């Protein structure tokens, strides 16, 4: 009975353990602990059919092996989401910082998803800054020349003018409508933290367009480039469509 209880306990532990980990109730276990869980109990001989002397029926062993496999997959998924969210939150720096590459003609999305970030030192510097309150009296709209200089630090964005107002604009193709909303959530977190907000558009179900400008001065300020750089540093793996997003 004890042995059956042990087997049963191990069957239960991986599932409840992983679910508690995925709910953030407990920290993921150290890796060696995981290996320990997955290693079949060496002292229990495999037996076919009914429990022989001291053997455990094959069905129980297979069930345990399957439960361990399911658990390992869950843990791997947790690991991937941990790395991905760490990249998004800047906890894990870019795996290989590299100078801003000209991805025109290539699938920029691959660069984004492969690296989880797309940074040059200047772009990183911009993304590390914080926005100033838009109600500040010292805030004035910048000239188009100044905007063009800063544009080099926000890969993929372009300058547009609408109603005489200079703006930053960028478009992405996302996997589906819900991924578009997920993208908006990531951007919203930045905007709320910075007190500076973009205009978000989700059109034709999978086309995200973002315009950034400073409404209080009806033009572009450093705030807009800081926000654009922070958006560029989001890890959009799993959100962007594999195909498009090739920069024009
Ligand atoms: C009081 C303050 O100006 C407003 O709350 C903020 C909010 N977010 C903003 N975002 C943008 N893009 N422009 C603004 O002028 C602005 N103003």
ipTM confidence = 0.96
The atom number, within ligand 1, closest to the CA of 223 reads 12
- Cα-to-chain-centroid distance, residue 168: 23
pLDDT digits (tens, 9 = 90+) for 72-123: 666 655 555 444 444 444 433 333 333 333 444 444 444 333 334 456 788 8
36-50, 182-196, 207-221: least confident range: 36-50
The overall average pLDDT reported for the chain is: 73
What pLDDT is stored for residue 59 in this prediction? 75
What pLDDT is stored for residue 122 in this prediction? 84
In this prediction, residues 164-177 reach a mean pLDDT of 98
Query: Measured in angstroms, how far is the CA atom of residue 220 from the centroid of ligand 1?
Result: 12
The atom number, within ligand 1, closest to the CA of 212 reads 12
What pLDDT is stored for residue 171 in this prediction? 98
Helix or strand (DSSP H, E) at 200: strand 199-203
CA distance 228 to 226: 5
pLDDT digits (tens, 9 = 90+) for 7-65: 333 333 444 555 555 555 545 544 444 444 444 444 444 444 444 445 667 777 777 77
Q: Looking at the predicted structure, is the pLDDT value of residue 128 above 70?
A: yes
User: CA Rg, the chain, in Å?
Assistant: 25
> Which residue(s) pair with 211 in the sheet?
169, 199
Query: Measured in angstroms, how far is the CA atom of residue 154 from the centroid of ligand 1?
Result: 21
Residue in 124, 110, 99, 149 with CA at minimum distance from that of residue 237? 110
Query: Measured in angstroms, how far is the CA atom of residue 93 from the centroid of ligand 1?
Result: 30
Query: Measured in angstroms, how far is the CA atom of residue 231 from the centroid of ligand 1?
Result: 17
Q: To the nearest whole percent, how much of the chain has pLDDT over 90?
A: 48
What pLDDT is stored for residue 202 in this prediction? 98
Contact yes or no for 175/241 (Cβ under 8 A): yes
> Which residue(s) pair with 240 in the sheet?
174
Residue nearest to atom 6 of ligand 1 (CA): 134
- Asked whether 148 lines ligand 1 (CB < 6 A), one says no
Domain boundaries, the chain: 139-233
Which pair of structure tokens corresponds to residue 245?
């997003």
Query: Measured in angstroms, how far is the CA atom of residue 196 from the centroid of ligand 1?
Result: 5
CA distance 223 to 230: 11
What pLDDT is stored for residue 126 in this prediction? 95
Contact yes or no for 199/171 (Cβ under 8 A): no
CA angle (144 as vertex; 141, 150 as ends), nearest 5: 90
- Asked whether 197 lines ligand 1 (CB < 6 A), one says yes
The atom number, within ligand 1, closest to the CA of 199 reads 12
26-35, 126-135, 137-146: least confident range: 26-35
3 state DSSP class of 46: strand
Q: Looking at the predicted structure, is the pLDDT value of residue 153 above 50?
A: yes
- Asked whether 221 lines ligand 1 (CB < 6 A), one says no
Residue in 234, 93, 81 with CA at minimum distance from that of residue 170? 234
DSSP single-letter state for residue 171 = E
Query: Measured in angstroms, how far is the CA atom of residue 236 from the centroid of ligand 1?
Result: 25
- Asked whether 135 lines ligand 1 (CB < 6 A), one says yes
- 239 or 94: whose pLDDT is higher? 239
Residue in 60, 65, 45 with CA at minimum distance from that of residue 4? 60
- The CATH classification of domain 139-233, taken from the options 3.30.1360.20, 3.60.15.10, 3.30.300.30, 3.30.479.10: 3.30.1360.20
Q: To the nearest whole percent, how much of the chain has pLDDT over 70?
A: 54
């Amino acid at each position: 009975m004890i042995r059956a209880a042990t087997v049963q306990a191990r069957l239960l532990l991986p599932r409840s353990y992983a679910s508690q980990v995925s709910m953030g109730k407990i920290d993921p276990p150290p890796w060696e602990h995981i290996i320990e869980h997955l290693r079949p109990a060496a002292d229990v001989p495999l037996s076919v059919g009914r429990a022989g002397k001291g053997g455990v029926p094959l069905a129980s062993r297979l069930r345990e092996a399957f439960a361990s496999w399911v658990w390992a997959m869950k843990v791997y998924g947790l690991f991937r989401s941990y790395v991905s969210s760490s990249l998004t939150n800047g906890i894990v720096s870019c795996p290989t910082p590299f100078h801003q590459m000209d991805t025109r003609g290539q699938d920029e999305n691959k660069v984004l998803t492969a690296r989880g970030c797309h940074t040059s030192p200047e772009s990183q510097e911009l993304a590390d800054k914080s926005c100033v309150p838009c109600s500040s009296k010292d805030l004035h709209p910048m000239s188009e020349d100044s905007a063009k200089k800063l544009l080099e630090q926000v890969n993929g964005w372009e300058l547009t003018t609408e109603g005489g107002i200079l703006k930053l604009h960028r478009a992405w193709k996302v996997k589906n409508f819900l991924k578009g909303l997920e993208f908006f959530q990531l951007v919203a977190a930045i905007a709320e933290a910075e007190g500076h907000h973009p205009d978000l558009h989700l059109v034709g179900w999978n086309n995200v367009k973002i315009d950034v400008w400073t409404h209080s001065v009806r033009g572009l300020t450093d705030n807009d480039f800081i926000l654009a750089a922070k958006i560029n540093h989001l890890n959009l793996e799993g959100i962007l469509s594999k195909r498009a997003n090739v920069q024009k």
